[in-house]
Amino acid sequence: MPVVVVVGAQWGDEGKGAMVDTLAKEADIVVRFQGGANAGHTVIYKGKPVALHLIPSGITHEHTVCVIGNGVVVDPKALLDEIEALSSLGISITPERLKISDRAHLTLPYHRMLDAAREMAGSRLRLGTTRRGVGPTYVDKVDRVGIRVGDLKFPERLETKLRINWEHKQAFFNALPPDERPDFNAVLDELLKYAELIQPYITDTVTWLNEQADAGRRILLEGAQGTGLDVDFGTYPFVTSSNTTAGGACTGSGLPPTKINFVLGIAKAYTTRVGEGPFPTELQGEEQVKLREKGREYGATTGRPRRCGWFDAVLVRYAATVNGCTALALTKLDVLSGYPEVKICVAYRWRGEMLTTFPAESFILEEVEPVYETLPGWDEPLSECRSWEKLPANAQRFVMRLQELVGVPIATVSVGPERSCVLTKPDAPSIW
C-alpha cells in the first residue's frame, strides 16, 4: 500500500505525530498537506520530546524525505526557527531531506497581527485560534492576493507581490495606532532575507511526489488538526481554515484520489479540544481536571490546557465516514486505567429527539445531551503492556465496543508515547 493518509478523527491532538513517527520508520516520504504553524506534533527523539509545527514528523528518521505540500501555509520565520532547533539536536536538514512546495502560501508577519486582532475584537468573533496567522493567510490565498513560496525564487518580483497584498490590508493598517503599523520596507527586507535561506528547499513537489508515487515509493500524508476542525465538515465556525480530512490530502499535495491506498484515522480513547466551540462530551469541574492531569493534556503549540471528556462515538463514526477510513489507530488507552467505569457517547439527545449522526449546526451541538453507554473499567496500568493479548479483558472489551460503534477496524492501540507502546491488534489490516 504505497500511499497512506493519516488524519485526526476528533478535534486534533489525537497523537497523530507519534503514530506518523512510528509509520515513518517504514516510509520513504512524509508529507504535510494542510495547516501551518498552528499544528503541534510532539515526537520523541533519543528520549527527548521534540515539538514540530511545520516540518513533518518523519524528520527524525534519517532515511525519510519530508515534504511541506502546496496546501500548507508556511510562516518562514517559524520554519527557519524549527530547522535551527532540529539541527541543534543533531537532525540534519538538507534540501535532499526537506522539500517545500513552490505552491504553498506564505504567512507574513502581519497575518499574525490580523489573527490576534480578530481574537481580541470581541467575544462574538473569538474562535480561540492559535494566533499563528493561519486563518488570515488562507483568506489571502482564496482572495487571490497571497504570496507563495515559489515567489521567493524571484526576488525582483517580490516587491510588486508584496505591494498588492499590502494595499489589500490598508483598512486594517489604518485602524492601528501609527506606532503599531508595520513598515513596508522592513517586511520586504525580511522576506528577501528568508528568500535566500529558503530557496534551496523550494521544489515543484506536485511533480516530484507523483513521480515518487509512480515509482512505488512509500508515501505517508500527515494530517494536522482533526475532522472536527475541518473548515467544511467540522463544527463551523469553530474550525481551522483548511480541509483537515482525507480529501485535503489530495488537494494539499497534488496526489490524486486514485493514488491513495489507505486512510488511517487517529482517535484518542477519550476526547479533547482546545479553543472555543461545541464539545458534547466535555466533562466539568474535578472530573475534567482529573482526566487532563492523567492525560497531560496541554497544547504543544500554545501550552493551553485542553478541554477533556469521554469518547464520542458519534463524532468518530462521522469522521470515519467523511475520511473513508480504512482503519483507526486508538491512542492513549493507558490514560483510562484506574477509572472504575468508562463511558462512551453513543448518541445525542436534543429537544426530545435522539440524534445518531453529527449535526452541521454548532448551536445544536452546544445544546445536545450525550447519551452514554457505561462499561466496566480496569485498574491495571497499561504502559508496560507490549501486546494486545496482555491488555486487561475490560480494556480489550472497551476497544472492541468502540470498533463496533465506529464501524471501522481498530488496527492499533497505544499505551504510551514511545514507539514500542503501539500494540497491533491481531486482526489489523496491514498498512504498508
Residues forming contacts to ligand IMP in the complex (CB under 6 A) are 12-13, 38-40, 127-130, 132, 134-135, 224-225, 229, 238, 240-241, 274-275
DSSP per residue, 177-238: -GGGS--HHHHHHHHHHHHHHHGGGEE-HHHHHHHHHHTT--EEEE--S-GGG-TTTSSTTS
**Beta-carbon count within 10 A of 204 CB:** 14
State the Cα–Cα distance between residues 126 and 120, nearest whole angstrom.
Answer: 7
Which member of 13, 21, 140, 230 is catalytic?
Answer: 13
Which member of 21, 41, 75, 115 is catalytic?
Answer: 41
Closest distance to ligand IMP from the beta carbon of 54 (Å): 11
Whether 13 is catalytic is yes
Cell digits for 355?
A: 440524534
Q: Is 10 helix (H, G, I), strand (E, B) or coil?
A: coil
Closer Cβ to ligand IMP, 119 or 151, answer by number: 119
Closer Cβ to ligand IMP, 11 or 262, answer by number: 11
Closer Cβ to ligand IMP, 127 or 192, answer by number: 127
Closest distance to ligand IMP from the beta carbon of 133 (Å): 8
State the Cα–Cα distance between residues 414 and 356, nearest whole angstrom.
Answer: 27
Closest distance to ligand IMP from the beta carbon of 274 (Å): 4
Residue nearest to ligand IMP (CB): 275
Closest distance to ligand IMP from the beta carbon of 331 (Å): 14
Closest distance to ligand IMP from the beta carbon of 107 (Å): 11
Q: Report how far apart, in Å, the C-alpha atoms of 347 and of each of 243, 278, 354 are.
A: 25, 15, 7
* Interacting residues of 188 by C-beta distance below 8 A, sequence separation 6+: 158, 159, 162
Cell digits for 117?
A: 486582532
DSSP 8-state secondary structure symbol assigned to residue 428: P
Closest distance to ligand IMP from the beta carbon of 244 (Å): 9
**Beta-carbon count within 10 A of 409 CB:** 14
Whether 179 is catalytic is no
State the Cα–Cα distance between residues 25 and 171, nearest whole angstrom.
Answer: 49
Cα Rg of the chain (Å, integer): 22
Paired strand residues for 68: 32, 100
Closer Cβ to ligand IMP, 203 or 240, answer by number: 240
Closer Cβ to ligand IMP, 131 or 425, answer by number: 131
Closer Cβ to ligand IMP, 203 or 227, answer by number: 227
* Bond from prior residue into 237 cis (ω within 30 degrees of 0): yes
Pairing status of strand 341-350 against strand 369-376: antiparallel
Closest distance to ligand IMP from the beta carbon of 211 (Å): 30
Q: Is 92 helix (H, G, I), strand (E, B) or coil?
A: coil
- For residue 101, the one-letter residue type is S
Range 382-395 burial, b when 16+ CB lie within 10 A, else e? beebeebeebbebb
Upper half-sphere CA count for residue 54 (Cβ side, 13 Å): 31
Closest distance to ligand IMP from the beta carbon of 128 (Å): 5
Closer Cβ to ligand IMP, 54 or 65, answer by number: 54
State the Cα–Cα distance between residues 191 and 403, nearest whole angstrom.
Answer: 49
Closer Cβ to ligand IMP, 2 or 248, answer by number: 248
- Active site (catalytic) residues: 13, 41
